[in-house]
Amino acid sequence: MGKQRKTWASGVKEEIVLAVLSGEKSIAELARQHGVAESLIHNWRTQFVEAGRARLAGNRQDDGFKALEKENERLKSLLGEKELALYIAKKVRGL
């Protein structure tokens, strides 16, 4: 059997990355302290900085989320209409 991968909570990742970016501790120190590979901390830092750059450049990831929310509301409305039509049909039939 292979070695099971550990998952890291986003809060822990954020704490580690912010400590690196602030110069509070070195990557090597944080890697030892948290039992994580240095390369992983490098990856987290890169992802964190790239996401910040993208957001400052105006790239919004929540646009897709808003489209999904709008579609969800449309479907809820449609479902409500269908339920109402079914209720009326049952009342007309005397069920």
pTM: 0.59
Inter-CA distances, 79 with 25, 64, 89, 90, Å: 54, 22, 15, 16
What's the token pair of residue 66? Answer: 């808003």
The tens digit of pLDDT for each residue in 55-92 reads 888 776 666 778 888 999 999 999 999 999 999 999 99
Look at the alpha carbons of 72, 78, 82, 88 in this order and tell me if their dihedral is positive or negative: positive
Contact present, 45 and 20 (Cβ < 8 Å):
yes
Q: What is the pLDDT of residue 1?
A: 57
d(CA 43, CA 5): 16
The tens digit of pLDDT for each residue in 31-56 reads 999 999 999 999 999 999 998 888 88
